Amino acid sequence: MAFAEFLEALLTPSLPILALGILIIIGAPLLLHIALASSSTYITPPTVLLLGPLASGKTSLLTLFERGTPAETHTSQSTTSVELNASTDADSKQSFRNHDDTSGTHTKFILVDTPGHGKLRNLAFGKLERAETLKAIVFVVDAAALSEQDVLSTTASYLYDVLLLLQKRASDKSKTRKSVVPVMIAANKMDLFTALPATMVRTNLEVELTRIRATRSKGLLDSGVGMDDVGSEDQDAWLGEYGSEKFSFKQMQEFDIDVDVLPGSITGEEGTGADKWWWWIAQKIANA
C-alpha cells in the first residue's frame, strides 16, 4: 500500500517532483562527466609537435616512428597525428621499430606532423598555441641543404617564430601559464655527403637568427635609443637575452627553454639513424 501511494505521488504533478526531475536530468550527466574526466583511462596523452620547413623530412620521420620504415617525402597539406608508445628503458632505445613490444615501462603520446609550406604554417602555430598537453617540439631541418643561403634563411625565419612564440608562452604571467616546452632541432640527412655536422648546423642557425633578430628590431641596435627607453612591445619581439649582440640557443634557458641540436638521418644506416631523436622524445615524455 505504501509503495502504491509513493508511485501515485511521483506521477502526480507537483513542484517538488518537478524540481527532483530537473535535478536528476541535469545532475546525472554532470556527475558522469566528472567521473570520466577524473579517470586515468580518459586522460589525454601528451603531445609532441613535428615542425620544420618544406622538404625537411617531417612526414617521413612520422612514418618511420609509426611503422618502423620511412615513407617517401611528400608535401603535407594538413596535420597528421599518430599515437605511439615511448619507453626510457635502457634496452628500448629503438622501440619505435617494435610497437607491439609491451615489455618495460611505456608512455603513450601523440606525435603530430604539421605542413612545412609557408602558406600553411598557420596550422602549425595553431597547434602550438592551443595544445594544452604539448610536451616537446621536434624541429626538423635539412642539414644537407643548410649551407644554401635561401634554405638557411627560410629555416631560421621559421625557427625564430617558433622560439619567440615559446618565449612569450613561457613569459606569460597570467594564471593560465602553460608548461615550458623543450625543443630538439633534428639535423636530418646526415647520411648525405653535403650534410653539415651538428656543430655547424647550430652555429649557422645562431648566426642567421642573430641577423633576423637585428632586422626585426627595426634598427634599435644602431639607433641612439637606450634600452630602457624601448617599449615593451619591442622587447616582446626580441628573441633571447634582450640587448645582446649575438643570439645563442643558450639564451633560451633564461626562459627555461632547452634547445638541443641532434644529428641523424631518417634513411641512414646504424649510427646515423633516428635513434637519438626517439630517445630524446622518450625522455621528455617520461619526465613531463
**In the prediction, which pLDDT does 86 show?**
80
122: left (phi over 0), alpha (psi -120 to 50) or beta: alpha
E strand residue ranges, 73-231? 80-87, 106-113, 134-142, 183-188
How much helix, strand and coil, in percent to the nearest 5, is found in the chain? Answer: 45, 15, 40
Torsion angle, CA of 173/174/180/183, rounded to 10 degrees? -80
Rounded CA-CA distance 113/73 in Å is 13
Q: Residues 6 or more apart from 72 whose CB is under 8 A from it?
A: 60
pLDDT at res. 262:
96
**What is residue 12's predicted lDDT score, i.e. its pLDDT?**
66
Domains of the chain, first to last: 43-286 (3.40.50.300)
Question: Would you state the pLDDT for residue 286?
Answer: 80
pLDDT per residue of the chain (288 residues) written in tens, 0 to 9: 565 665 565 556 666 656 666 676 776 677 766 665 554 444 678 999 999 998 898 989 998 888 877 766 666 667 888 998 887 665 555 556 555 555 556 788 999 998 877 666 777 777 777 767 899 999 999 999 999 999 999 999 999 999 999 998 888 766 555 678 999 999 999 999 999 999 999 999 999 999 999 998 865 545 554 545 444 556 778 999 998 999 999 999 999 999 999 999 988 654 458 989 998 998 898 876
CA distance 45 to 25: 31
